Structure 1
Amino acid sequence: VELGEECDGDAAVCDNESCTLKDSPEVVCELDGGTVINSLADFDALRGCAVIILSFSFDPPVAPVLVIGNSMEIPTNFSLPLLQAFYGTLEISNDPGNVVEVLSFPSAWKVGSFRTEHSPEFSRLFVPKLQVLGTLLLTNQAAGPPCADASTPFDLTFPDLFFIGAFDVEECDGPRRVLMPSLLAQNSDLNFDRNANLEVVSQPKMSKIASRINSLSENPSLRLIDRSSQTFIESIGEFSDYSPEGLELLLCSLNAFQFNTKAVERCMTTDTPPCFLFGAGDDSDRCREATGIIKGKHVTVEAEKNTWGGLGDLADSLDLSGLFKG
């Protein structure tokens, strides 16, 4: 196992101070499901882990969950810089005394699930190399403290994420923008309800699964939903109570039949507030911007593929069906 932010999994290039090749079994940490991190010693025991695997059982039922408790000994910046893969669910305790403000896994490429329901201090999730995420759940569905700090809005940014399973953000006032520029597939509905600071949900390359845009209501700052590469969609739910200036819905690649039968009735300029729909071969500047900007420069789709040395072709041909087989 290679450890360090500069590692890429190839021992042949592990030749700098920031990347160390480790073959010790201690870097693969197997923990019991239901383990609670409730002291500085518990936290320190995880800092040498490159892989964390949580066990589970059916009799008695034990879920593969690692819980960050509410001990004052736990650092407010919960950082595991060596972690590359986490198999199971990481949960911030629902106890109102939880002090965690930041979750930071700078080397992680895979996380099973992350969830928090009542974490009033939580204000940042930093996983810049994440590629696969099972579930992201930020909610406050029961009476109690908020799920994040509303006074310091933050972005949920996943530059390299290409697959996510379930993704719900409900009654959570912390997130401001959800930015997933590389996402190809989301194996669940899009649900964002009652989030006071949420402005943008951007998944411009999401095209491999016809998942629903299910529920987006009572997000008073929401102004943009970008799924400009989605060609098929299962259904589109109702939008309500978004930004007073209006909501832009970018479905620039959606097939014309579904655009006319599913999208048009859900998003109209006559709505209050207005909803601006772009798609079905729309050649407007807005769709050209959405589908042809890389690092601030207008380019063609073909130029985008060339920019990445042919990786654009690879992404277009990528078959993700194996991810959903039992």
Structure 2
Amino acid sequence: MKQQQWLATIAIFLTMGVILLGAYTRLTDAGLGCPDWPGCYGFLKVPVQDHHVAAAQQAFPERPLEPHKAWNEMVHRYFAGSLGLLIATIFFVALFNRQSPKLLPCVLLALVVFQAALGMWTVTLNLLPLVVMGHLLGGFTLLSLLAVHWLRLHPQYRVQEPKLLSLKPFAALSIIVLVAQIALGGWTAANYAALACIELPVCEAGWLQRMDINEAFDLHLGHDDYEYGVMSAEARQTVHVFHRFGAIITLLILATFLLQLWRRATNSVIKRLTLAAGSLLLLQFSLGVLNVALHLPLANAVAHNFVAANLLMVLVLIFMQLRGSNAKHSKTTSKESL
């Protein structure tokens, strides 16, 4: 059990690192820093020697080698590959341990393989926004499921508060709303719409007349290259505005849920999770405002991505605690009826 606990802990922190590197790669426009996959210009690492650089330029004349972007991309791939191997280890350790649950490690392995495929398609389809957004959601999902796996391996942190059962639907709604907002953020980033509006609170004057919802949420399939986006300025502005309104809705719904949870909870674990989620929620909203006010500074934008992943993870852990309370309550009710 100790071995599995350590593996799960390391996997969580490694996934956080991969998410940070993925955001940094995307925000430095290095998503196509290596135009092939899984190598880089036909090599296992970024070409350095003159004859290797010449061979790379000859193989990909349409995309000249930019070493700093190529290294950003390859470091992300190295970390992602290491994470894949670690999750495969988690799967096989659970497989050969008779007392370990098998379903979640199997799901984790399937998800990380699918993430690898999305990483490949991100490159081979030249940053197709649908794939880029899916890759982002897959990474966040992986982190949340690893946290659930960690919780199952640490029963001392699992609590039961049957009186919180009525909040379970609200917890599920909060997760759905947050996932939708993260997807909107991913769609905004994938279509290079983060700076489509640079004024607060909504956008530049006349934004309502320039809205183009049809193009904003069209998949735009069939283009040869999506780097720097293919949407019109009006469509990007529409995506950006939707993400801003989504942020306000998300803030209100999650804050209401967390406030109710804080008032009703008595267990210290649930209290700490609620406090963590509330802090992350306020930090995330503040980072979003700063992204606009400061015109998307790199460190702030990377943090905005990272905090969203952690907020989702904590909300999922809260939901699992409420779900555990439900299981405990069902057993108690069953015994009383007998």
TM-score over 0.5 for the pair: no
Greater gyration radius:
2
Q: Which has the higher contact order (CA 8 A, sep 6+)?
A: 2
**TM-score (structure 1 length as normaliser):** 0.26
Q: Which has the higher strand share?
A: 1
Q: Which has the higher helix share?
A: 2
